[in-house]
Amino acid sequence: MDRPARGRSGAEAAQEAELERDADGQLLCPPAGPATDPAFDNKLLAPAIERYDRARTAFAAAEDGLEADARLGALTGAEREIRALVESRTRPTWDAVWRGLDLLAGLPEGARVEERWTRDRWSFTGHRDRVTAGEPPQPRRDDAVTAANKLATREREQARLEAQEALDDPLAMAARRLSGEAFAGEVVDVVMAYSESKRPSPRPLVTVRTEDRPHLAERVRAYRSLGGSRRRRSSSATRTARTAVCWSCVSWTRWAGARSRRRARSRRRATACASRCSSTNRAAGRSCPTRRRPRGPMAARPVRRPYRSPPTR
């Protein structure tokens, strides 16, 4: 956890921390695991335990009070010696753990941590609401459809977590770049193309120059991270322009692209905006379009009411 001394590399400092010993043959940095160093066990810990055992046996064999008090002092000293030896092996690890936690607390928060925290809270809130509403508990064994849905959801969330950690942590991203799961490069050329379907969609051909070696094959989808955005988008996604038109009773939005036009139809709604539309167009120097209805597939059509015959007496 400590920085290497001036003029020494991190590899040299790590090797010294792992292998260097003092004049008594003990490691300068004790191991941070349950298995202690054999030199410590044989030269320090084992003799101390033997002294403790002898002092305890002598204390149990004491015949009078004065002799028992004297042997109790020897037993207490042997116990303190073992406690000091064990603390000398465990205290460095304890201090290193808290120094590491302090270093982690000083790091900036990842850009996607808040999003994951919000999803976790909503998930817990939904479970709490189900329990409060008196819904039956989860069955011991799910049916095939429920089990498949749960498995797919968990696999998707695990993949999302790993991707977000790689985007937030440069070290994790470096590991993925070395393994070929991710790559970084520069876009050098973009050729606009469209799909060969009844409703052509933009499919630009992007040429990227990179020094990595990603594992790419046919029909493999590559995702890119938009600068500062928490969302991932496919490399084939393009930004579309939109135009808003408003007249007397209808407000609609036209989006570029066939799929966006279908979305625009669902977003069309009636609004009472005659005065606002007129004032907006007068301020912009345009004629108010309330008197002329638009033409085309996005034009608002009047609602046809079913014919009802007059009531008969």
* Statement: residue 192 has pLDDT above 60: yes
Closest CA to 214 of 252, 175, 183: 183
Higher pLDDT, 16 or 38: 38
Write out pLDDT tens, residues 116-175: 999 999 999 999 999 999 888 788 899 999 999 999 999 999 999 998 999 999 999 999
Give the pLDDT band of residue 29 (cuts 50, 70, 90): confident
Whether residues 267 and 203 fall in one domain: no
* Statement: residue 261 has pLDDT above 50: no
Specify the number of domains making up the chain.
Answer: 3
Whether residues 285 and 208 fall in one domain: no
Whether residues 218 and 259 fall in one domain: no
Which of 32-41, 95-104, 186-195, 268-277 bottoms out in mean pLDDT, i.e. has the lowest? Answer: 268-277
Q: Is the dihedral of CA 42, 44, 47, 53 positive or negative?
A: negative
Whether residues 207 and 251 fall in one domain: no
Q: pLDDT value at position 50?
A: 94
Domain end, chosen from 106, 133, 163, is at 106
- 96 inside domain: yes
Sequence-separated (6 or more) residues with CB below 8 Å from residue 115: 164, 230
Which of 10-14, 197-201, 204-208 bottoms out in mean pLDDT, i.e. has the lowest? Answer: 10-14
Which of 105-114, 161-170, 266-275 bottoms out in mean pLDDT, i.e. has the lowest? Answer: 266-275
Whether residues 196 and 246 fall in one domain: no
Q: pLDDT value at position 62?
A: 84
Higher pLDDT, 152 or 257: 152
Higher pLDDT, 167 or 1: 167
- 283 inside domain: yes
Dist. CA 255–CA 257, nearest whole Å? 6
Whether residues 229 and 254 fall in one domain: no
Whether residues 223 and 249 fall in one domain: no
Q: pLDDT value at position 264?
A: 44
Q: Is 180 left (phi over 0), alpha (psi -120 to 50) or beta?
A: left
Average pLDDT of the chain, as a whole number? 75
- 114 inside domain: no
**Where do we find the tokens 């909503």?**
122
- 116 inside domain: no
pTM of the model: 0.47
Whether residues 37 and 101 fall in one domain: yes
Give 232's strand partners. Answer: 225
**Could you tell me the residue range of the domain that residue 175 belongs to?**
144-234
Dist. CA 156–CA 169, nearest whole Å? 20
Q: pLDDT value at position 221?
A: 79
Burial of 95 (0-12, 13-18, 19+ CB in 10 A): exposed
- 167 inside domain: yes
Average pLDDT over residues 92-109: 91
Domain end, chosen from 190, 210, 234, is at 234
- 311 inside domain: no
Q: pLDDT value at position 172?
A: 92
Higher pLDDT, 192 or 288: 192
- 250 inside domain: yes
Whether residues 57 and 94 fall in one domain: yes
Whether residues 161 and 191 fall in one domain: yes
Residue 238, helix vs strand vs coil: coil
Which of 61-70, 86-95, 292-301 bottoms out in mean pLDDT, i.e. has the lowest? Answer: 292-301
Whether residues 228 and 246 fall in one domain: no
- 310 inside domain: no
DSSP single-letter state for residue 40: H
Give the pLDDT band of residue 227 (cuts 50, 70, 90): low
